[in-house]
Structure 1
Amino acid sequence: MATIPTDRNPDSTLAFLRAGYRFIGQRCERYGTDIFQTRLLLEPTICVRGRAAAELFYDADRFVREGAMPARGKRTLTGRGGRGHPLRRTAAGPRGGPEPDAGAAGQRLRGHRRAARPLSLPAGPAPG
């Protein structure tokens, strides 16, 4: 079994915060691999990228998502009940293949918008 490259820094939290989204890609390029180990907030962390990594994370038999995200974040990022993300992915089209044409994506998005319930807010002043 191959050894996973390990970042030399005792902790990479600041580098992660500075680089943001680019952090994993930059380190993978540095180590010439799609996987490496580092420390974030002093905790050992394995970072991965690529198609195989994405397939691993979407495998429901390997990861339990229920309860993994705080309720506020879940409502914000995925919509009520966690249904928002799969709908957005469907509207955007398949990943890793040819780009969908704008007409097909637009039709899917319009279909999802029609299926969504309208937001209704109570009348009167905002609670404060």
Structure 2
Amino acid sequence: MQLTSVRIITGDVDRLTSFYEQVTGLVASRPAKQFAEFAGGPATLAIGSAETMALFSAGAAVPESNRTVILEFLVEDVDREFARLRPLLAEIVQEPTTMPWGNRSLLFRDPDGNLVNLFAPQTEEARARLAR
């Protein structure tokens, strides 16, 4: 089994797509008005409108209600990304901090309230875990 995609359901695809284009530096592909995706690396970040959930099952996902999942992006320099993104971020949860497991980490919320972590391994042990 292979994880291929994480999808955020939102009430405003354009707003969230624009936010993640600024965060990632990638341009989203937009195969439909109600859907966007960022392909980069082994998994894709997808953004779908709440109306797309009617194709699955009504109420299966509710926009802006997540407080359990963290979207994590590997970056080269957490502090540089923080300086670049700070004007864009409405809610900073944790400024850049080196965690006990060896990653430097920045936590913030996207416009829908989803938690985002930008991280970079700082120790040999952390780099080795990432290389697995």
TM (normalized to structure 1)? 0.24
More strand, by proportion: 2
Higher RCO (C-alpha 8 Å, min separation 6): 2
Which is greater in Rg?
A: 1
